[in-house]
Homo-oligomer: A and B are copies of this chain.
Amino acid sequence: MRVIDLKKPVAITAWSCVGGKKEKEGPLAAGFDMLSSDDYFGQQSWEKAETAMQKYSLRSLIEKRKLNARDIDIALGGDLCNQITSTGFAYRDYMIPFGGMYGACSTMSLTMATAACLVSGGVVNNAVVGASSHFCTAERQFRTPLDYGGKRTPTAQWTVTGAANVFLEREGKGPFITKVCFGRIVDLGITDANNMGAAMAPAAVATLTEYFIHSGKRPREYDAVYTGDLGLVGSRLLKQMMEKEGFPLENHIDCGMVIFDNEKQNVPAGASGCGCSGCVLAADILPRMAAGHLKKILFMATGALLSTTTTMQKESIPSVAHLVEIVADKEDL
Protein backbone atom coordinates (compact mmCIF):
# COMPACT_ATOMS: atom_id res chain seq x y z
CA MET A 1 0.00 0.00 0.00
CA ARG A 2 1.39 3.35 -0.99
CA VAL A 3 0.13 6.88 -0.95
CA ILE A 4 -0.19 8.28 -4.46
CA ASP A 5 0.47 12.02 -4.39
CA LEU A 6 -1.26 13.37 -7.49
CA LYS A 7 1.18 15.74 -9.18
CA LYS A 8 -1.73 17.48 -10.77
CA PRO A 9 -4.69 17.78 -8.38
CA VAL A 10 -7.94 16.69 -10.00
CA ALA A 11 -10.94 19.01 -9.87
CA ILE A 12 -14.34 17.72 -8.81
CA THR A 13 -16.49 19.95 -10.99
CA ALA A 14 -19.94 18.46 -10.52
CA TRP A 15 -21.80 15.93 -8.39
CA SER A 16 -25.26 14.49 -8.18
CA CYS A 17 -27.28 11.97 -6.21
CA VAL A 18 -30.69 10.37 -6.18
CA GLY A 19 -32.39 8.58 -3.31
CA GLY A 20 -35.50 6.68 -2.27
CA LYS A 21 -38.22 7.01 0.34
CA LYS A 22 -36.18 6.51 3.51
CA GLU A 23 -33.48 8.87 2.23
CA LYS A 24 -36.23 11.42 1.54
CA GLU A 25 -37.21 11.24 5.21
CA GLY A 26 -33.60 11.56 6.39
CA PRO A 27 -31.59 14.59 7.51
CA LEU A 28 -29.65 15.00 4.22
CA ALA A 29 -32.73 15.07 1.97
CA ALA A 30 -32.18 18.69 0.96
CA GLY A 31 -28.87 17.80 -0.69
CA PHE A 32 -30.32 15.25 -3.13
CA ASP A 33 -31.04 16.07 -6.78
CA MET A 34 -34.06 13.82 -6.76
CA LEU A 35 -35.89 11.77 -4.16
CA SER A 36 -38.64 9.29 -4.91
CA SER A 37 -41.30 8.13 -2.47
CA ASP A 38 -41.67 5.13 -4.76
CA ASP A 39 -38.66 2.84 -4.32
CA TYR A 40 -39.61 1.22 -7.65
CA PHE A 41 -38.90 4.53 -9.41
CA GLY A 42 -41.78 3.66 -11.75
CA GLN A 43 -40.09 0.42 -12.85
CA GLN A 44 -41.27 -3.19 -12.68
CA SER A 45 -38.45 -4.59 -10.59
CA TRP A 46 -36.09 -3.28 -7.94
CA GLU A 47 -33.12 -4.05 -10.15
CA LYS A 48 -34.60 -1.91 -12.91
CA ALA A 49 -35.31 0.75 -10.28
CA GLU A 50 -31.65 0.81 -9.30
CA THR A 51 -30.66 1.24 -12.95
CA ALA A 52 -33.23 4.04 -13.24
CA MET A 53 -31.71 5.78 -10.19
CA GLN A 54 -28.28 5.63 -11.78
CA LYS A 55 -29.63 7.12 -14.98
CA TYR A 56 -31.43 9.93 -13.13
CA SER A 57 -28.24 10.75 -11.25
CA LEU A 58 -26.08 10.63 -14.38
CA ARG A 59 -28.54 12.80 -16.29
CA SER A 60 -28.58 15.32 -13.49
CA LEU A 61 -24.77 15.46 -13.48
CA ILE A 62 -24.63 15.88 -17.24
CA GLU A 63 -27.18 18.71 -17.10
CA LYS A 64 -25.48 20.51 -14.21
CA ARG A 65 -22.11 20.51 -15.91
CA LYS A 66 -23.75 21.23 -19.29
CA LEU A 67 -22.02 18.23 -20.81
CA ASN A 68 -22.56 16.29 -23.98
CA ALA A 69 -22.24 12.59 -23.15
CA ARG A 70 -19.80 12.29 -26.09
CA ASP A 71 -17.44 14.67 -24.27
CA ILE A 72 -17.03 12.31 -21.33
CA ASP A 73 -13.77 10.41 -21.76
CA ILE A 74 -14.52 7.53 -19.46
CA ALA A 75 -16.98 6.34 -16.84
CA LEU A 76 -16.06 4.05 -13.96
CA GLY A 77 -18.83 2.70 -11.80
CA GLY A 78 -20.29 -0.19 -9.92
CA ASP A 79 -22.89 -1.47 -7.50
CA LEU A 80 -23.64 -4.46 -5.29
CA CYS A 81 -25.73 -6.53 -7.70
CA ASN A 82 -24.28 -9.71 -9.12
CA GLN A 83 -22.27 -8.78 -12.25
CA ILE A 84 -22.88 -5.09 -11.39
CA THR A 85 -25.86 -5.12 -13.71
CA SER A 86 -27.48 -1.99 -12.27
CA THR A 87 -24.53 -0.02 -13.55
CA GLY A 88 -23.95 -1.92 -16.80
CA PHE A 89 -27.59 -1.53 -17.78
CA ALA A 90 -27.53 2.20 -16.97
CA TYR A 91 -24.64 2.86 -19.32
CA ARG A 92 -26.07 0.99 -22.30
CA ASP A 93 -28.05 4.12 -23.08
CA TYR A 94 -24.96 6.34 -23.20
CA MET A 95 -22.12 6.59 -25.71
CA ILE A 96 -19.57 6.72 -22.90
CA PRO A 97 -16.57 4.37 -22.64
CA PHE A 98 -17.29 2.34 -19.52
CA GLY A 99 -15.15 0.36 -17.12
CA GLY A 100 -16.91 -1.66 -14.44
CA MET A 101 -15.43 -1.81 -10.96
CA TYR A 102 -16.35 -3.92 -7.98
CA GLY A 103 -15.38 -2.99 -4.45
CA ALA A 104 -18.67 -3.68 -2.68
CA CYS A 105 -19.40 -0.63 -0.48
CA SER A 106 -15.93 0.79 -1.22
CA THR A 107 -16.97 1.42 -4.83
CA MET A 108 -17.37 5.19 -4.56
CA SER A 109 -13.83 5.80 -3.33
CA LEU A 110 -12.43 3.00 -5.53
CA THR A 111 -13.81 4.57 -8.69
CA MET A 112 -12.85 8.08 -7.55
CA ALA A 113 -9.29 7.03 -6.74
CA THR A 114 -8.86 5.18 -10.03
CA ALA A 115 -10.36 7.92 -12.16
CA ALA A 116 -8.41 10.62 -10.32
CA CYS A 117 -5.21 8.77 -11.26
CA LEU A 118 -6.30 8.54 -14.90
CA VAL A 119 -7.15 12.25 -15.06
CA SER A 120 -4.11 13.41 -13.12
CA GLY A 121 -1.79 11.26 -15.25
CA GLY A 122 -3.12 12.99 -18.35
CA VAL A 123 -4.45 9.92 -20.15
CA VAL A 124 -8.00 11.30 -20.05
CA ASN A 125 -9.26 14.84 -19.60
CA ASN A 126 -12.24 13.92 -17.51
CA ALA A 127 -14.13 11.04 -15.99
CA VAL A 128 -17.48 10.37 -14.45
CA VAL A 129 -17.54 7.96 -11.53
CA GLY A 130 -20.41 6.57 -9.57
CA ALA A 131 -21.95 3.94 -7.37
CA SER A 132 -25.40 2.80 -6.36
CA SER A 133 -27.21 0.49 -4.02
CA HIS A 134 -30.85 -0.32 -3.39
CA PHE A 135 -32.21 -1.70 -0.14
CA CYS A 136 -34.50 -4.16 -1.88
CA THR A 137 -32.02 -5.50 -4.45
CA ALA A 138 -29.42 -5.99 -1.71
CA GLU A 139 -31.77 -7.60 0.81
CA ARG A 140 -33.04 -10.22 -1.54
CA GLN A 141 -29.65 -10.92 -3.05
CA PHE A 142 -27.55 -11.07 0.11
CA ARG A 143 -30.04 -11.92 2.82
CA THR A 144 -33.62 -13.10 2.42
CA PRO A 145 -36.52 -12.13 0.16
CA LEU A 146 -38.28 -9.14 1.71
CA ASP A 147 -41.59 -11.01 1.75
CA TYR A 148 -39.98 -13.60 4.03
CA GLY A 149 -40.02 -11.01 6.80
CA GLY A 150 -36.76 -12.12 8.42
CA LYS A 151 -35.92 -10.39 11.69
CA ARG A 152 -32.98 -8.00 11.55
CA THR A 153 -30.15 -8.47 14.03
CA PRO A 154 -29.15 -5.43 16.16
CA THR A 155 -25.86 -5.10 14.22
CA ALA A 156 -27.50 -5.25 10.78
CA GLN A 157 -27.16 -1.99 8.85
CA TRP A 158 -29.76 -0.61 6.45
CA THR A 159 -28.72 -0.53 2.80
CA VAL A 160 -29.17 2.94 1.32
CA THR A 161 -31.38 3.25 -1.75
CA GLY A 162 -29.34 5.76 -3.65
CA ALA A 163 -27.11 6.48 -6.63
CA ALA A 164 -24.37 9.10 -6.78
CA ASN A 165 -22.05 10.48 -9.43
CA VAL A 166 -19.07 12.78 -9.41
CA PHE A 167 -17.37 14.44 -12.37
CA LEU A 168 -13.59 14.79 -12.37
CA GLU A 169 -11.63 17.13 -14.63
CA ARG A 170 -8.06 18.25 -15.21
CA GLU A 171 -9.09 21.90 -14.85
CA GLY A 172 -11.72 23.48 -12.65
CA LYS A 173 -12.27 25.38 -9.45
CA GLY A 174 -12.48 22.33 -7.20
CA PRO A 175 -12.76 20.88 -4.62
CA PHE A 176 -9.69 18.87 -5.59
CA ILE A 177 -8.57 15.29 -5.13
CA THR A 178 -4.94 15.58 -4.11
CA LYS A 179 -3.89 12.15 -2.84
CA VAL A 180 -5.23 8.64 -3.15
CA CYS A 181 -4.44 5.39 -1.38
CA PHE A 182 -5.66 2.04 -2.70
CA GLY A 183 -6.25 -0.43 0.09
CA ARG A 184 -5.15 -4.00 0.38
CA ILE A 185 -7.51 -6.80 1.32
CA VAL A 186 -7.70 -7.55 5.02
CA ASP A 187 -9.43 -10.54 6.58
CA LEU A 188 -9.28 -11.05 10.33
CA GLY A 189 -11.67 -13.98 10.25
CA ILE A 190 -15.03 -12.31 10.91
CA THR A 191 -17.80 -14.56 9.60
CA ASP A 192 -21.01 -12.77 10.66
CA ALA A 193 -22.60 -11.47 7.45
CA ASN A 194 -24.95 -9.37 9.61
CA ASN A 195 -22.06 -7.47 11.14
CA MET A 196 -20.29 -5.91 8.18
CA GLY A 197 -18.96 -3.02 10.23
CA ALA A 198 -16.84 -5.35 12.33
CA ALA A 199 -15.56 -7.10 9.20
CA MET A 200 -14.65 -3.83 7.48
CA ALA A 201 -13.09 -1.91 10.39
CA PRO A 202 -9.70 -3.70 10.15
CA ALA A 203 -9.43 -2.83 6.44
CA ALA A 204 -10.20 0.80 7.29
CA VAL A 205 -7.49 0.75 9.96
CA ALA A 206 -4.96 -0.78 7.54
CA THR A 207 -5.51 1.88 4.87
CA LEU A 208 -5.69 4.81 7.31
CA THR A 209 -2.58 3.74 9.21
CA GLU A 210 -0.54 3.27 6.04
CA TYR A 211 -1.83 6.59 4.77
CA PHE A 212 -0.80 8.51 7.87
CA ILE A 213 2.59 6.79 8.09
CA HIS A 214 3.53 7.28 4.43
CA SER A 215 2.02 10.74 3.89
CA GLY A 216 3.34 12.14 7.17
CA LYS A 217 -0.14 13.59 7.78
CA ARG A 218 -2.01 13.40 11.05
CA PRO A 219 -5.77 12.95 11.61
CA ARG A 220 -6.06 16.40 13.26
CA GLU A 221 -4.93 18.08 10.04
CA TYR A 222 -8.31 17.20 8.56
CA ASP A 223 -11.66 18.80 9.24
CA ALA A 224 -13.11 15.33 9.06
CA VAL A 225 -12.10 11.77 8.31
CA TYR A 226 -15.10 10.20 6.60
CA THR A 227 -15.59 6.46 6.39
CA GLY A 228 -18.19 4.83 4.18
CA ASP A 229 -20.51 2.61 6.11
CA LEU A 230 -18.92 1.13 9.20
CA GLY A 231 -22.09 1.88 11.10
CA LEU A 232 -22.35 1.97 14.87
CA VAL A 233 -20.34 -1.16 15.66
CA GLY A 234 -17.65 -0.70 13.04
CA SER A 235 -17.15 2.98 13.90
CA ARG A 236 -16.54 2.16 17.56
CA LEU A 237 -14.06 -0.55 16.54
CA LEU A 238 -12.29 1.82 14.15
CA LYS A 239 -11.80 4.45 16.83
CA GLN A 240 -10.50 1.91 19.34
CA MET A 241 -8.11 0.37 16.82
CA MET A 242 -6.81 3.72 15.52
CA GLU A 243 -6.15 4.83 19.08
CA LYS A 244 -4.00 1.71 19.55
CA GLU A 245 -2.19 2.44 16.27
CA GLY A 246 -1.24 5.86 17.62
CA PHE A 247 -3.51 7.85 15.31
CA PRO A 248 -6.56 8.70 17.44
CA LEU A 249 -9.46 9.93 15.30
CA GLU A 250 -11.21 12.84 16.95
CA ASN A 251 -12.87 14.04 13.79
CA HIS A 252 -14.26 10.79 12.44
CA ILE A 253 -17.63 10.79 10.70
CA ASP A 254 -19.14 7.63 9.26
CA CYS A 255 -21.44 8.24 6.30
CA GLY A 256 -23.53 5.32 7.55
CA MET A 257 -24.23 7.24 10.76
CA VAL A 258 -25.38 10.53 9.22
CA ILE A 259 -27.59 9.72 6.22
CA PHE A 260 -30.49 8.66 8.45
CA ASP A 261 -31.70 9.81 11.84
CA ASN A 262 -30.85 6.42 13.30
CA GLU A 263 -33.17 6.66 16.27
CA LYS A 264 -36.23 8.20 14.60
CA GLN A 265 -35.83 6.16 11.45
CA ASN A 266 -35.27 2.97 13.44
CA VAL A 267 -31.88 1.95 12.07
CA PRO A 268 -29.88 1.63 15.30
CA ALA A 269 -26.74 0.24 13.63
CA GLY A 270 -26.75 2.82 10.85
CA ALA A 271 -26.72 2.63 7.06
CA SER A 272 -24.63 0.79 4.47
CA GLY A 273 -24.34 0.21 0.71
CA CYS A 274 -22.24 1.79 -2.06
CA GLY A 275 -24.95 4.40 -2.36
CA CYS A 276 -24.47 5.44 1.27
CA SER A 277 -21.01 6.99 1.03
CA GLY A 278 -21.72 8.18 -2.51
CA CYS A 279 -24.88 10.04 -1.52
CA VAL A 280 -23.37 11.56 1.64
CA LEU A 281 -20.45 12.76 -0.48
CA ALA A 282 -22.68 14.35 -3.12
CA ALA A 283 -25.50 15.55 -0.86
CA ASP A 284 -23.46 16.84 2.06
CA ILE A 285 -19.65 16.71 1.94
CA LEU A 286 -18.94 18.27 -1.45
CA PRO A 287 -21.57 21.04 -1.09
CA ARG A 288 -20.05 21.96 2.27
CA MET A 289 -16.57 22.00 0.78
CA ALA A 290 -17.75 24.17 -2.10
CA ALA A 291 -19.35 26.55 0.42
CA GLY A 292 -16.10 26.80 2.39
CA HIS A 293 -17.40 25.02 5.51
CA LEU A 294 -14.98 22.13 5.11
CA LYS A 295 -11.41 22.75 3.96
CA LYS A 296 -9.69 19.41 3.91
CA ILE A 297 -11.05 15.92 4.41
CA LEU A 298 -10.32 12.25 3.90
CA PHE A 299 -13.01 10.17 2.22
CA MET A 300 -12.58 6.44 2.61
CA ALA A 301 -15.31 3.98 1.73
CA THR A 302 -14.99 0.39 2.91
CA GLY A 303 -16.21 -2.79 1.25
CA ALA A 304 -16.91 -6.32 2.44
CA LEU A 305 -15.97 -8.65 -0.40
CA LEU A 306 -18.21 -11.59 0.42
CA SER A 307 -20.89 -13.34 -1.61
CA THR A 308 -23.72 -15.63 -0.59
CA THR A 309 -21.67 -18.51 -1.99
CA THR A 310 -18.63 -17.74 0.17
CA THR A 311 -20.89 -17.34 3.22
CA MET A 312 -22.51 -20.71 2.55
CA GLN A 313 -19.03 -22.18 2.20
CA LYS A 314 -18.33 -20.85 5.72
CA GLU A 315 -15.67 -18.44 4.53
CA SER A 316 -14.73 -15.36 6.51
CA ILE A 317 -15.25 -11.86 5.09
CA PRO A 318 -12.30 -10.14 3.36
CA SER A 319 -12.60 -6.36 3.28
CA VAL A 320 -10.95 -3.39 1.64
CA ALA A 321 -10.86 0.40 2.08
CA HIS A 322 -9.80 2.94 -0.52
CA LEU A 323 -9.02 6.53 0.41
CA VAL A 324 -8.99 9.91 -1.32
CA GLU A 325 -7.83 13.21 0.14
CA ILE A 326 -10.02 16.14 -0.91
CA VAL A 327 -9.18 19.81 -0.37
CA ALA A 328 -11.50 22.75 -1.01
CA ASP A 329 -8.93 25.24 -2.30
CA LYS A 330 -5.62 24.91 -4.04
CA GLU A 331 -4.12 27.17 -1.36
CA ASP A 332 -4.71 24.37 1.15
CA LEU A 333 -2.48 21.95 -0.76
Cβ contact within 8 Å between A122 and B308: no
- Mark the stretch among A91-99, A235-243, A285-293 that contacts chain B: A91-99
Whether A320 is near chain B, meaning CB under 8 Å from some CB there, is yes
Which of chain B's residues have a CB closer than 8 A to the CB of A84? Answer: 102, 305
Cβ contact within 8 Å between A91 and B185: yes
State the CA gap A78–B161 with chains docked (Å).
Answer: 26
Whether A31 is near chain B, meaning CB under 8 Å from some CB there, is no
Cβ contact within 8 Å between B102 and A183: no
Which of chain B's residues have a CB closer than 8 A to the CB of A88? Answer: 185, 305, 318, 320
Cβ contact within 8 Å between A83 and B4: no
Cβ contact within 8 Å between A85 and B4: no
Which of chain B's residues have a CB closer than 8 A to the CB of A45? Answer: 313
State the CA gap A73–B182 with chains docked (Å).
Answer: 9
Residues 99-118 (chain A) with a chain B CB within 8 angstroms = 99-104, 110, 113-114, 117-118
Give the nearest-CB partner of A203 in chain B.
B92
Whether A297 is near chain B, meaning CB under 8 Å from some CB there, is no
Cβ contact within 8 Å between A185 and B92: yes
A303-327 vs B, CB cutoff 8 Å, 1 = contact: the mask equals 0011111100101001010100000
Contact among B102, B124, B186, B307 with A100 in the assembled complex (CB-CB below 8 Å): B102
Given contacts A4-B124, A48-B313, contact A322 B185 (CB under 8 A): no
Q: How many copies does the complex hold?
A: 2
Give the nearest-CB partner of A73 in chain B.
B2
Cβ contact within 8 Å between A117 and B121: yes
State the CA gap A181–B174 with chains docked (Å).
Answer: 28
Which of chain B's residues have a CB closer than 8 A to the CB of A315? Answer: 89
Which of chain B's residues have a CB closer than 8 A to the CB of A97? Answer: 1-2, 181-184
Which of chain B's residues have a CB closer than 8 A to the CB of A141? Answer: 309
Contact among B1, B92, B307 with A318 in the assembled complex (CB-CB below 8 Å): B92
State the CA gap A250–B270 with chains docked (Å).
Answer: 58
B-contacting residues of A (Cβ < 8 Å)? 1-2, 4, 6-7, 44-45, 47-48, 73-74, 78, 80-85, 88-89, 91-92, 94-104, 110, 113-114, 117-118, 120-124, 141, 181-187, 305-310, 313, 315, 318, 320, 322
Task: Apart from A1-B95, A88-B318, A97-B182, list 20 A-B contacts with CB within 8 A.
Answer: A1-B97, A2-B73, A2-B124, A6-B123, A47-B313, A80-B83, A83-B102, A83-B104, A85-B306, A85-B309, A91-B185, A92-B318, A95-B184, A99-B113, A101-B101, A102-B102, A117-B118, A118-B121, A121-B122, A121-B123
